[in-house]
Structure 1
C-alpha cells in the first residue's frame, strides 16, 4: 500500500556506496520503499547536486538521493575540517529541509554525532516532524582520533547518551543497543544490517573431491588490530601451514605495509595475499571465491553494540564464516551450519578452527555454503524488514 508524504533520510554518510554506513542506510531506505514510502536520502557527499532516482529497489515506494556536502572536502585542511564537523555539522541539512516545498512526514538520521543532532533535533521539534535515529555503534575512545578525551569521542558519547534517547523513535542494529535504549521510554526497533540478498547473483562452484586446499578471505579495515584481530588470523594461518596444510588467506582492504605492521613487522606466512581495496560492487565476487571468511574480534562493548556488515555480506554471498561470537552473531551463525565458531579470540582457537575447516570435503563445504545463503535470505534481505519498519513508522502517521 502506497504511503502518503515522504521520508527524509539524512546524515553525513556517503551514499549509495563508499563505507559501511552507506550499505546500512541503503538497506533501511530500501525496506521503507518496499513498505510503500517515498524516501529522499540527503547524504554527506558532494554529489549528486539534485535529487536523483536510485534504481533497483523493489516496492511501491521509491528512493532518490542527493549530496549536501556535509562532509569536509579534502581541500578543507585540519582547521576547516574541524570547524565543519565540530560546529557546522547539520546546518546544511537543516537549510535543505527548510527549502523543501512540503515537509517530510518523518526524518530518519544516521550518524553525525552531537553537533549534527543539535541542529536536526531543533528543526524537527519546531516543525513537529518525528525524528527517528538509527544507532549502530557504541564508540570506543581507543578507535577514534584524539582518544577518550578528544572532541570527536566526547561528541559521540554526548549523542549516544543525550540526543539519541530524546528522539521520537530509535532503530537499533543489535540486541545490546535495543536493550539499552528500551530504558529511554521511546519506541525501539531492532534491525540488523540488511542488503539486497535476493538480487545478488552467485557463481556456481565445483563440489567434487575431498579436502581441497583451504581458501580464506578477510575484507575490511582492522583499525590497527583494535577492531578486527587480523594479526591473530595471520598467526593462525602460519600455525596451520607449519602442519603441512595448504591454506591461502586473501586480505582485501589494508595495504601490504599495513598488514605487516599488524603482524609485528615480521614476514608474513606463505599464502597470505594482500590484494588492497576493492570497489564495493566487486566485494561479493571476491567473497564467493573463498571457502570461508574470517572475523575475529575482542568481546568488548563496542563489538557487542555494533554488528558486522561484512558478516552479513559473507552469508549473502554464500560464503560461510569462521568467527568468535560477538554482538548478535550467535543468532545466525551455528557451528558447522553457516560456518565454524571459535570459543574465544585466541590464536589457539582460531588455529583449531582453520584445521577443522581444512579437513572438510568439498561436499561438506557446499552444504555450509547453502546454509549460509539460506540464513542471509531469511535474516538479512531488506524485503524481510519492510513490514516491521513500515509498522514502526506508522506510529507517527
Structure 2
C-alpha cells in the first residue's frame, strides 16, 4: 500500500476548518487504497522541530503534528521548512520509496517548493491543495511584507510548478486553467451525522434560524468581515416589521464584539430584542446541534478575491446536517445549490424585493421545510464517497498508481 503525505497548517483533529477538509480528503484517499499520513500543527506543542503523535477523526489515518511557530525566528524557519518530511522518514513514519505523493495544504511558498523538490527526488508527485487566496496586507511591517511576498510567490509561481492541484472553487481553478496541470475541484466536505433523519421542526412558535459569524476577532473594519451578518440582521429587521416571528441564533460573535464593528446596529438589535441572540464562540459539537435544529441557516457574503477563492464551510455543514441555506450569488456553491431544495437565493442589494423573498421563505409551511431538511440530510453532496471517482481519475492523470 503506497503512502500519501498531507502537510500543512491544519489543527487536528478538528480545531479549524482546514483540519475538517483534510480529514475528509484523507478519507477519499484511504478509500482508494492509499495509506495516508497527516502532518499538521498544534498550538499546544513547542516549535522544536519534532513530530508528535496526533489524533484524526478518520480511523486508520496516521496523524502527526508539529509545534505552531510563535517567535520570529520560528516563523522564518517554518516558511522554508522541509524538515517535517525528513523527520517523518527518520522516525519511520514514511519510507521515501513508498511515497506516492505529497500534498501541501496552503503552504508557505519557499517551503512548498523545497518539499516539491524532495518529493520528486523520492519519485513521488508533488501536489498542492489550494483553498485560500489571502488579501494583500498593508506594507507597514516586515511581517506583512513577508506575507504579501509569500502569497504572491505561491499563487503566481510555485503552485504553477506543482504536478497537480486540488482547489475548492471555480475562481482558483480558472486561475490555473492555463498552467497545464491536472486540477480537481473539491468543496469543503463534512462527515455526516450518525443519525439519518433530522428532527421535525416544532409545529408552532418562532421559526428557528442560524448564522455562523467568523473573523470578528481579527477584523479592524467592517470590510474585513466576509460573512455579512449585518446584511442578515437588516433583512430580518425588515421582515420582523411585516409580522414574521423567528429566533436567529448567531454563533461566533457576541453582541459587544459585533457592535464594535457595526455600532449603528444598536437600535436595530434593541428593536429586534429576543428575536436575535448572539451566542459567542461555542464548541463545534454545539454548533452542529444548533444548526441541525434550525429551519434555515444564512450564508451571505460579499464578493472579494478572498471569498471567491474559498468555499464556505458553513454551507456544506448546513446542508450535511439537514438545514437548507439562504444564500446570495456565490459562484463556489452554484454547482451544489438546488433552488427550493437545498435552500433559496436572495440578493440583499435588491432591497424591498429581497425582503419580500425572505418573508415568503420564512412563512413557508413547516411540513414543506421539513421535506427540504430531509432532502439536504440525504443528499450526500458533501460526503467523501461522492468524490472518490473524480479523485481516482485525478491521481491517475498525474501518474500516481491507483489501488494496489
Alignment correspondent of 1:242:
241
1:143–1:382 CA distance, 2 compared to 1 (3 A): farther
Post-superposition Cα deviations, 1:16-39, rounded to whole Å, max 9, x if no partner, equal 211111111111001111112111
Residue 396 of structure 1 aligns to a residue whose secondary structure is coil
Alignment correspondent of 2:75:
85
In the alignment, is residue 366 of structure 1 matched against residue 370 of structure 2? yes
1:148–1:178 CA distance, 2 compared to 1 (3 A): farther
Post-superposition Cα deviations, 1:55-88, rounded to whole Å, max 9, x if no partner, equal 554xxxx31201111x22xxx4xxx1x4333443
In the alignment, is residue 43 of structure 1 matched against residue 34 of structure 2? no
TM-score (norm 2): 0.85
In the alignment, is residue 65 of structure 1 matched against residue 67 of structure 2? no
Where in structure 2 are the equivalents of 1:121-140 lying within 5 Å? 121-140=116-135
Asked whether the equivalents of residues 148 and 154 of structure 1 are also in contact (C-alpha less than 8 Å), the reply is no
Alignment correspondent of 2:334:
330
Alignment correspondent of 2:212:
219
Asked whether the equivalents of residues 228 and 296 of structure 1 are also in contact (C-alpha less than 8 Å), the reply is yes
2:384 aligned residue (382, 385, 388): 382
2:345 aligned residue (341, 346, 349): 341
Return the alpha-carbon distance in structure 2 between the equivalents of residues 147 and 367 of structure 1: 54
Alignment correspondent of 1:263:
262
Asked whether the equivalents of residues 334 and 341 of structure 1 are also in contact (C-alpha less than 8 Å), the reply is no
Return the alpha-carbon distance in structure 1 between the equivalents of residues 73 and 114 of structure 2: 15
Alignment correspondent of 2:282:
278
In the alignment, is residue 31 of structure 1 matched against residue 32 of structure 2? no
Asked whether the equivalents of residues 37 and 63 of structure 2 are also in contact (C-alpha less than 8 Å), the reply is yes
Asked whether the equivalents of residues 113 and 158 of structure 1 are also in contact (C-alpha less than 8 Å), the reply is no
Alignment correspondent of 2:4:
7
Q: How far is 1:344 from its partner? A: 4.8
1:200–1:141 CA distance, 2 compared to 1 (3 A): farther
Q: How far is 1:264 from its partner? A: 2.4
1:304–1:97 CA distance, 2 compared to 1 (3 A): same
Post-superposition Cα deviations, 1:94-150, rounded to whole Å, max 9, x if no partner, equal 432442541222111112222431332232233332111111122222699979963
Return the alpha-carbon distance in structure 1 between the equivalents of residues 110 and 179 of structure 2: 21
Residue 44 of structure 1 aligns to a residue whose secondary structure is strand
1:137–1:49 CA distance, 2 compared to 1 (3 A): closer
Q: How far is 1:341 from its partner? A: 0.5
Return the alpha-carbon distance in structure 2 between the equivalents of residues 14 and 278 of structure 1: 17
Q: How far is 1:276 from its partner? A: 1.4
Return the alpha-carbon distance in structure 2 between the equivalents of residues 163 and 30 of structure 1: 27
Post-superposition Cα deviations, 1:296-344, rounded to whole Å, max 9, x if no partner, equal 1113333222111110000001001011021232222233221110135
Q: How far is 1:221 from its partner? A: 0.2
1:192–1:55 CA distance, 2 compared to 1 (3 A): closer
Residue 290 of structure 1 aligns to a residue whose secondary structure is coil
Alignment correspondent of 2:86:
95
Residue 179 of structure 2 aligns to a residue whose secondary structure is coil
Asked whether the equivalents of residues 147 and 153 of structure 1 are also in contact (C-alpha less than 8 Å), the reply is no
Return the alpha-carbon distance in structure 2 between the equivalents of residues 200 and 309 of structure 1: 21
Out of 365-374 and 156-165, give the one that drifted further: 365-374
1:266–1:14 CA distance, 2 compared to 1 (3 A): same
Structure 2, unaligned runs of 5 or more: none
Residue 211 of structure 2 aligns to a residue whose secondary structure is strand
Out of 200-209 and 28-37, give the one that drifted further: 200-209
Residue 68 of structure 1 aligns to a residue whose secondary structure is strand
Q: How far is 1:53 from its partner? A: 6.5
Post-superposition Cα deviations, 1:134-181, rounded to whole Å, max 9, x if no partner, equal 111222226999799632233122111111111111111112222222
Alignment correspondent of 1:305:
309
Out of 122-131 and 32-41, give the one that drifted further: 122-131
